[in-house]
C-alpha cells in the first residue's frame, strides 16, 4: 500500500555516520511531537537529486523553519557513508539538512515508494517525493510521476502546500 495524506508513517530505523561510525536513527524519535519534512531521492550523487532536489531544500530551509518545521530529512536507498559524503559535497549537511540512509529500502518499501530503473542501474530505489509530517502523521505529500523530474517534490513545491 502506498502512503497517502492522513496516514501515520510506520516506525523505521535509518543509518547515519556518527563519530564512532554508522549509528541507528529512529524515525519515530525524529517525528514524536515534531513537525518535520522528509524528502526522498532515487540515488545520492545522481543528476537531478544533486543539482535540483537537495539544493531546493537548502534554498527553502529558512522558509520551512518559519512555518514551524523543525527538521528537514533527506532519505535515499544508499549506505550511510555515501549519504554522509553526499551531504558534505552538496552543502546539505552544512545547511542543517539531515541525511539518512535506508540501505535495505525497508522504509521505502513499507510506505510503497519503491521503484526500479534497470537501464540506469537503479534497483529497488525510492521514488522522488517530499512530505510534511506532524507527530508521525502525513499532512502533505508530493510524489513525482517521473524520477527525472523535481517540481512537486522540490522544496518550493512542498512549501506551496503548507
Catalytic positions, please? 49
Cell representation of residue 62: 529558512
Burial class (CB in 10 A: 0-12, 13-18, 19+), 7: middle
Give kind and range of the element (H or E) at residue 55.
helix 54-66
Bridge pairing between strands 71-76 and 35-41: parallel
Burial class (CB in 10 A: 0-12, 13-18, 19+), 94: exposed
Considering only CA atoms, which of 75, 71, 72 is closest in space to residue 108? 75
Amino acid at each position: 500500500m502506498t502512503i497517502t495524506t492522513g496516514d501515520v508513517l510506520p516506525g523505521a530505523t535509518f543509518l547515519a555516520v556518527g563519530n564512532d561510525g554508522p549509528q541507528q536513527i529512529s524515525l519515530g524519535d525524529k517525528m514524536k511531537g515534531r513537525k518535520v519534512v522528509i524528502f526522498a531521492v532515487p540515488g545520492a550523487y545522481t543528476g537531478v537529486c544533486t543539482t535540483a532536489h537537495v539544493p531546493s531544500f537548502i534554498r527553502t530551509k529558512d522558509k520551512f523553519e518559519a512555518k514551524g518545521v523543525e527538521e528537514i530529512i533527506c532519505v535515499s536507498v544508499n549506505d550511510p557513508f555515501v549519504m554522509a559524503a553526499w551531504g558534505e559535497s552538496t552543502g546539505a549537511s552544512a545547511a542543517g539538512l539531515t541525511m539518512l540512509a535506508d540501505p535495505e529500502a525497508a522504509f521505502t518499501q513499507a510506505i510503497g515508494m519503491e521503484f526500479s530503473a534497470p537501464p540506469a542501474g537503479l534497483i529497488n530505489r525510492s521514488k522522488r517525493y517530499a512530505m510534511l509530517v506532524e507527530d508521525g502523521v502525513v499532512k502533505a505529500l508530493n510524489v513525482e510521476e517521473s524520477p527525472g523530474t523535481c517540481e512537486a517534490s522540490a522544496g518550493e513545491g512542498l512549501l506551496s502546500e503548507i
